[in-house]
Amino acid sequence: MSENRNFWKNSRRVYRLLIVICTLALVSGILIFYINRDAQGEPEADGTEYTKFEDEEPNRIENGIHVRTGFIDAPGLQETVNNCTNCHSAKLVIQNRMNAERWHATIRWMQETQNLWPLGDNEDIIVDYLVTNYPPQNKGRREGLENLDWYELKP
Amino acid sequence: MQRRKFFQNATLASMSALLGSDIVFAKAMPDAYLPLGLQDPDPFKLFDKNKEMVVLNDKPWNIEAQAHLLNDKVTPNSAMFIRNNGLIPENLDASGWTLTIDGESAAQQKSYTIQQLKSKFKTYTYQLTLECGGNGRSEFDPPAKGNQWTIGAISCAEWTGFRLRDILEDVGIKPDAVYIGYHAADIHLSQNPDKEPISRGAPMAKALQDETLLAFQMNGEDIPLAHGFPLRLVAGGWPASVSGKWINRISIRNIVHDGAKMGGDSYRVPCKPVAPGEEVKDEDMCIIESMPVKSLITYPKSGAVLKDGESLNIQGHAWAGELDVQKMEYSINFGATWTDCAIEKPINRLAWQHFSAEIKFPQKGYYEVWARATDADGTAQPMLLPGWNPKGYLNNACHRIAVKIT
């Protein structure tokens, strides 16, 4: 039947198109997969799966700042990066201002409840780095309003 | 694991290229699934937040609002703060979700699918105030440990769900019950599956309140992923950590729940006042229950410049934990004199209340408009920081905005 023939003819066309599309998709998919993987570098030794990207140079310093974490470049930086950014973001460290005693207590708390490993000699290096570069500031009972962004309020 | 890595490596665009179409891809994904590769780049897009929200922490995600973003009477998702103790769970599937009730004081262990909950229990809708216990922490001196929230860890959205009481009573509550404790699907930062990032709860009296919900909707839609899809406990007026997200189990306990972040300095304050920086013994710490009276000027944004002779209409919200706000005042002379604001009644118990006032300024110059709420017991907000505590909770000091008349 001519209807039947037409059906098969159309189907062949569709199949051919499908094969071409599938091949293209597969090839581009594989390419993208590998390109992305290469761009990301090797996963971290501890198997962290949440490292989203790796710079070509993971410890690049720009204007005195460790680019990947935002930490100030100073003695103790590497120990701090290696031990304090695996579970949580460096943002959590930077926004906290404590003296040495309270940092040590915080480290104990993380070891007791949060699976932080023993830091050994690095503990003093890290705490020195934190209290030197992120010292507590006196705020008193109430600070003044700062960084005011003045704008004209239309009535 | 393989799948995770794959998602990490492939962007959504390349996934779409692979599959040929966005729709096929979306359909293949479980409800509210968040590919890990997308956990990095743009939190505002990822969580559908206003671009002016402030990211305090990106692992775990902690994001707060600014006062002027909170002007809506019912907080939209775009301005709702995100507070996470762990990692947001993946692969959430509402259709396969079960809630289990167990514990020493449960008459039996019983599980429900969401569908079963919907067919068995009546649903209720309330506007409920959720404030992070640590909202305002950034002002404490000496600095307190944790995310340095300023003023934006507060919301009052409309929550729809089942009364927790109805579910607990269906299971059966033994007479020795004292507390409920929740368990959820979020992931501990160390990725140790045996550890829970947070497992808090509330005394039975709070658990059995009319307004304590096991919610499945926020503002009339499925709860957004970051806010606890598909099931969230909502206990308005108490530290928002009581309102556990991604809930899959609730235990009826015959002791005060002893889950993660129930002890130590977490969500606890000294039972008796202490000097700033003083060390407090564990047994001298008490669990925070109802949050203190507080208010926020949400209009205008701080920094308004007006012409001499123009008056200023301020708007905002006030809330007081378990209590109503009885009085709302403003001052433009640093508390020397106070003037009443108009304040509305709450739409339901535990919802914030809206205030407004028209302010005239006596002459040109720099002003600060300070707002002060007083609760039904007559307790008002302090202008200075309230009592210091190790983790910097419960800062309910008056909010203020700067205004210049030129």
Supply the CATH number for residue A89's domain: 1.10.760.10
Question: A54 lies in a domain?
Answer: no
Same domain, A65 and A21: no
Q: How far is CA B375 from CA A46, A136, B339, B352, in A?
A: 52, 34, 16, 12
Question: A115 lies in a domain?
Answer: yes
Same domain, A85 and A28: no
Query: Is residue A107 within 8 Å of residue A117, measured between CB atoms?
Result: no
How far apart are the CA of A136 and the nearest CA of chain B, in angstroms?
Answer: 7
Q: How many domains does chain A have?
A: 2
Which is more confident, B242 or A6?
Answer: B242
Mean pLDDT for the stretch of residues A22-33: 66
Question: A51 lies in a domain?
Answer: no
Same domain, A36 and A66: no
* A20 touches B at CB < 8 Å: no
Name chain A contacts of B368, Cβ cutoff 8 Å.
145
- Of A87, A140, A151, nearest to B141 by CB-CB distance is A140
> What number of C-beta contacts closer than 8 Å exist between A and B?
135
- Of A92, A136, A153, nearest to B300 by CB-CB distance is A153
Which is more confident, B26 or A75?
Answer: A75
Task: Mark yes or no for CB contact A142/B397 under 8 Å.
Answer: yes
Q: Is the pLDDT of residue A152 over 70?
A: yes
Which parts of B172-312 fold into alpha helices (H)? 204-207
Same domain, A65 and A37: no
Same domain, A93 and A125: yes
A56's CB contacts (< 8 A; 6+ apart) are A41
Question: A146 lies in a domain?
Answer: no
Q: Is the pLDDT of residue A48 over 50?
A: no
Same domain, A129 and A65: yes
| All domains in chain B, ordered by first residue | 1-30 (no CATH), 94-287 (3.90.420.10), 294-405 (2.60.40.650)
- Of B57, B189, B400, nearest to A114 by CB-CB distance is B189
Question: A153 lies in a domain?
Answer: no
**pLDDT for the residue A89:** 93
Name chain A contacts of B4, Cβ cutoff 8 Å.
49
Query: Is residue A29 within 8 Å of residue B14, measured between CB atoms?
Result: yes
* A25 touches B at CB < 8 Å: yes
Query: Is residue A106 within 8 Å of residue B106, measured between CB atoms?
Result: no
Which residues form the domain of A34? 1-42
Same domain, A33 and A71: no
Tell me, what's the ipTM? 0.84
Same domain, A70 and A122: yes
Query: Is residue B237 within 8 Å of residue B352, measured between CB atoms?
Result: no
Question: A9 lies in a domain?
Answer: yes
Task: Mark yes or no for CB contact A151/B305 under 8 Å.
Answer: yes
Query: Can you tell me whether residue A89 is helix, strand or coil?
Result: coil
Question: A68 lies in a domain?
Answer: yes
The tokens for A17 are 């198109």
Same domain, A69 and A110: yes
Task: Mark yes or no for CB contact B14/A40 under 8 Å.
Answer: no
- Of B39, B142, B302, nearest to A148 by CB-CB distance is B302
Per-residue confidence band for A84, with pLDDT thresholds at 50, 70 and 90: very high
- A 52-81 residues with CB below 8 A of B? 52-53
Kindly identify which residue of chain B lies nearest to residue A140, measuring between CA atoms. B141
Task: Mark yes or no for CB contact A115/B195 under 8 Å.
Answer: yes
**pLDDT for the residue A42:** 43
Kindly identify which residue of chain A lies nearest to residue B390, measuring between CA atoms. A102
Task: Mark yes or no for CB contact B9/A37 under 8 Å.
Answer: yes
**pLDDT for the residue B20:** 35
Q: Which 8-state DSSP code applies to residue B34?
A: -
How far apart are the CA of B306 and the nearest CA of chain A, in angstroms?
Answer: 6
**pLDDT for the residue B406:** 96
Same domain, A23 and A82: no
Question: A122 lies in a domain?
Answer: yes
Which is more confident, A19 or B228?
Answer: B228
Specify burial of residue A142 (Cβ count, 10 A radius: 0-12, 13-18, 19+): middle
Q: Is the pLDDT of residue A1 over 90?
A: no
**pLDDT for the residue A58:** 86
- Of B1, B145, B260, nearest to A98 by CB-CB distance is B145
Same domain, A65 and A121: yes
**pLDDT for the residue A19:** 72
The series of mean pLDDT values per 10 residues for chain B, 406 residues long, is: 39 37 41 47 91 95 98 98 96 94 98 98 98 98 95 98 98 98 96 95 98 98 98 98 98 98 96 95 97 98 97 98 98 98 98 98 98 98 97 98 98
